[in-house]
Chains A and B, each alone.
Chain A
């Protein structure tokens, strides 16, 4: 299966090189993941992530303020009280009022942080009445997905695309898989996460979700995505040699598309279908890629 894909993709790659990679992009919709050279949180795709960004920004403002105050004080003190300016040091070593103030003030700031932080925590953790259940099982080194709600849908393995394959289908290497988990938009989805051997962690930054996959334990989390598209995450608990190579891809589709997908037995679409096959061009592609 994987070998076939590799060959297909290698050849498709050459074509991509000629026609421009994105022209061949499969129907993955808009893609959401880490931003190129980005330096801020990924965009929210769920209400939980929106709250998470809010709490982050609140804390960020407060801690930036603290750093600026401390730095400013240090600069001021260093200029004002340097030896040449202040040759005779004072001997003060107490000021009860000051000491009380700088104990109370952080407490106030922490309370300001704690209140929204708690509401985010409970919102994120307490499962609402979910409408769909999916199961993600970590293995070495890929994810196996299944839909316990639907008996006609078989579980399937989601393997990473190698560099050439990813190029061929216009998806990012180390984020794209051959078979995404498909879920409907605007639906509360419960995710069951577990593992068959080492620990892993099922992480989807844009959803504000990260849940460890622990053998012998089934963890629960949930999300409700508000926009369609393809979302990327990566395994987030060290699990051995290919820890870096077991990405997570979730395709969010409209509810009707999802119904059709389930009705058809949930067969993962073949990402390489329709790409031109050319047995011999693989090696050329790899070389051209470097």
Chain B
């Protein structure tokens, strides 16, 4: 099974780089890199849609009164769709589908994903799903208007009897499609990572990004079927004379839905952050020119976060009227998660300690990631205390918390990965100055948006409100100003991308444009990599040290020759 160097030399030199025609390449694509690119483009498009929705929300909230939206219902529809689109169609596709597809096979020394056609299916389910969600905007939801306004948590009875129109059915179908896409993707990643590692690449030598995606894939595999089941139950509950899983009038239990939803929902939040952990680890190591500190601790911290993440879900439901002993258990279990999270943060700092640090664009995003993630993490510790959460639940404090870990955590991870691997993926460099402008505007913008929201929460402002008492005016206004800064940063982001594309021929990059610190396998092959990499599998040196992977010297030399002839 394992091809040794020299045993399977391709006949033609161009064989590795033979690309199908445009339509076949992008629509029938089974190539992990092309599918990764599709996912990234899809994530950017969804991000623009989701960003538009949130910008409109901030405009509405800029001052008391209802002045931007013509109805409170439409505002709630925007809230709902912003959450769903950002989670299922921006963060997950970018981190898992995009960077996962692009770099997992390369990092573990595999030619492609285990099931390339299923990979194609995973991707194409997503645009289908997004279309379903977008359609829901324009069909009747509740008596008050078009679209579904029951928030991304979709609690019945608001999502059953409270939203009788077809809008929510479209969302259910769309989310089911997105869920199956993720499940297929998870199966693909697990199979690929467990079976297709290059000779010598043991689990304990695997790059941390591969560990992160492996844990994420298991979370997806275990959590998403629960979401799918509860969505199906909602669907049949919604039919006239249908089931009554969640209908108290017919013996059902609406709180059961909350348990099912959060059994999926809490692992879901880690699904969105673990891949970012992986990316940040590589960037910190690369630009400190040091191997990851405490590699095994880092890998198993992610495993621990994944495992414990399945037994803490009810910390989202402290106010539903649970037994106090149950609450006490969930408080303690939730606090425990802070320990492996702390291990990760301290290990990143220790990786930098003694290093030779370069403040490149991806490094700036990664450093900001660490700092902002810590702020979001510690407010999580605050919310974990059920007693205190009685005050904070469903206030803007929670909104601030999860945007610090998502809008800054996960999204900073995405941009860090984007700027780290941009040259690898597309073969040319971007304008460093513009990219730094993007960074600083985004950094300032999101902090101005979300830091004041802690104050709003402390002062008691509930979330999902289209209008609010004048007492909350000041910090809402500040927060909305942040939205303008963030909008400006998004414009600069597109400027970076367009400028880089126009200048692509003048800014070609080599195999390893980051230099010595970048040690994972993607840096041993050309930028962009050949259409099919590793037709001869790399061998990983069998040292006892599991700090980082070293490519077999003979292999590296051969690879150099191969690239030389290919270009």
Contact = CB atoms under 8 A, between A and B. Distances in A.
Contact of A241 (B71, B356, B387, B452): B71
B378 A67 contact: yes
Interface in B442-481: 452, 455, 458-462, 464-475
Given A55-B387, A209-B390, A89 B328 contact: no
Contact of A67 (B254, B292, B375): B375
Contacts of A35: 459, 471
Contact of B355 (A81, A216, A235): A81
B342 A173 contact: no
Nearest to B473: A37
Given A42-B460, A212-B319, A63 B378 contact: yes
A33 B327 contact: no
A93 B295 CA distance: 8
B547 interface: yes
B48 interface: no
B385 A92 contact: no
Interface string A118-131: 10111111100000
A135 to B, nearest CB: 14
A102 B356 contact: no
A236 B399 CA distance: 13
B49 to A, nearest CB: 22
10 contacts: A38-B459, A49-B391, A63-B382, A89-B290, A102-B342, A117-B387, A121-B385, A205-B460, A210-B394, A216-B248
Interface of A: 33-42, 49, 51-52, 55-56, 59-60, 63, 66-67, 70-71, 73-74, 77-78, 81-83, 86-95, 98-99, 102-103, 105-107, 110, 113-114, 117-118, 120-126, 172-175, 193, 197-199, 201, 203, 205, 208-212, 214-217, 219-220, 233-245
Interface residues of B, number: 95
A37 B357 contact: no
B527 to A, nearest CB: 23
Given A99-B297, A124-B390, A217-B248, A91 B474 contact: no
Q: Which 7 A-B residue pairings sit nearest by Cβ, starting from the closest?
A: A216-B248, A120-B387, A39-B455, A219-B321, A63-B378, A90-B354, A37-B474
Given A81-B356, A217-B321, 5 more contacts: A51-B387, A86-B355, A99-B297, A110-B381, A237-B155
Interface of B: 71-73, 76, 142, 144, 149-151, 155, 157-158, 161-162, 248-249, 252-255, 288-295, 297, 319-321, 324, 327-328, 331-332, 335-336, 338-339, 342-343, 345-347, 349-359, 367, 370-371, 374-375, 378-379, 381-382, 385-388, 390-391, 393-395, 452, 455, 458-462, 464-475, 547
